[in-house]
Structure 1
Amino acid sequence: MRAVVATLGYVLSADRRQVLMLRRDKRVDDIHHGYYNGLGGKLEPGEDVVAGMRREIREESGLTCEAVEFAGTVSWPGFGRDGENWFGFLFRIPRWSGRVSPDCAEGTLIWTDLADVLAGRVPMWPSDRHFLPLVFADPPRVFHGVLPFVDGVAVDWHYSLTD
């Protein structure tokens, strides 16, 4: 399977009660328009996933990752604008430095209560509710999920744990 390889990261507040979310509200042609999401994007050629995650966090938020925790992977067959397959490496960012930039080309950065994210009280892709509890599980366990899409709608979800 050919796939777009990407990162998706969730920057946590020091008390781990809030997460920095990106409200995608800048480009009306964005398939994520109106939704809240983590930060991240496509890997660049020759870039490893951790370096890509650090770069995306810095570019989108202005923050420097001091710690990066691997949460798992999600394969999104059929997700992209033209039915592309996406494969994402998901991370938690529990320690960081800097100040959140007010200028993000992708949208508005908003500190959001993690409880609201997990309870579905934030406008997100409906399918995110499947993997977000795994990203924020305590204790954390690495997972590998598959979330196929048909015509812009998730049609299944399953995952495996590595331990």
Structure 2
Amino acid sequence: MGDVQAIVATLGYVFSPDRRQILMIRRDTRPDDIHFGYYNGLGGKLEPGEDVITGLRREIHEEAGLDCTGVELAGTISWPGFGRNGENWLGFLFRVTAWTGTPHSANPEGSLHWVDVADVLAGKLPMWESDRHFLPLIFADEPEVFHGVMPFSAGRATSWSYNT
């Protein structure tokens, strides 16, 4: 199996004030992007010297122009083999429940959209098939922090398991 060196990343789901929608990016600027055409939360790789909250706040400020004032840990996911060259990723997933600013309409990665949580949970948006496994945990009425592992092979999730 080798060692578990991983790229550490954040993934944030920014809620509208009424909690019915979330701000998602549609990755539609670079056709060679492995996420091309998919909707996803906001976030990215941690920089050296950052904790995960600082990294999340930086990424959401860069990507959406928002300053996060309310952040809740939703869970963590280990994605062995997820990277373009088979790198392992470790993601810290957050609910952003309060923020200030006016969201950008787009950024260099794609366009930003408010989407209904119900549509996300119903699978009505193009996204990583594997996201459907953990999104119900993030958007649960009474969420519990979860810790999951989702191995990838050849660009697809091969299994999913988690603990709370």
Q: TM-score, normalised by structure 1?
A: 0.97
Amino acid corresponding to residue 97 of structure 1 in structure 2: T
What per-residue deviation string (whole Å, max 9, x for no partner) do you get for residues 41-90 of structure 1? 00000000000000000000000101101000001101110111100000
Matched, 1:102 2:83: no
Amino acid corresponding to residue 159 of structure 2 in structure 1: D
Name the CA distance, whole Å, in 2 between partners of 1:75 and 1:118.
21
Count residues with an aligned counterpart: 161
Asked if structure 1 preserves the Cα contact closer than 8 Å seen for 2:105 and 2:113, the reply is no
Amino acid corresponding to residue 46 of structure 1 in structure 2: G
Q: Secondary structure at the match of 1:52?
A: helix
Equivalent position of 1:44 in the other structure: 47
Deviation at 1:141, TM superposition (A): 0.4
Equivalent position of 2:161 in the other structure: 158
Name the CA distance, whole Å, in 1 between partners of 2:138 and 2:5.
25
CA RMSD of aligned residues (A): 0.6
Matched, 1:131 2:134: yes
Asked if structure 1 preserves the Cα contact closer than 8 Å seen for 2:14 and 2:95, the reply is yes
What per-residue deviation string (whole Å, max 9, x for no partner) do you get for residues 99-152 of structure 1? 011341110000000000011101000000001011111211000000111101
Q: Secondary structure at the match of 1:125?
A: coil
Alignment of 1:48-127 (within 5 A): 48-127=51-130
5+ residue gaps in structure 1?
A: none
Name the CA distance, whole Å, in 1 between partners of 2:158 and 2:106.
35
Give structure 1 regions of 4+ aligned residues with deviation exceeding 2 angstroms: none
Name the CA distance, whole Å, in 2 between partners of 1:102 and 1:160.
36
Equivalent position of 2:14 in the other structure: 11
Amino acid corresponding to residue 113 of structure 1 in structure 2: D
Alignment of 1:139-150 (within 5 A): 139-150=142-153
Deviation at 1:22, TM superposition (A): 0.4
5+ residue gaps in structure 2?
A: none
Q: TM-score, normalised by structure 2?
A: 0.97
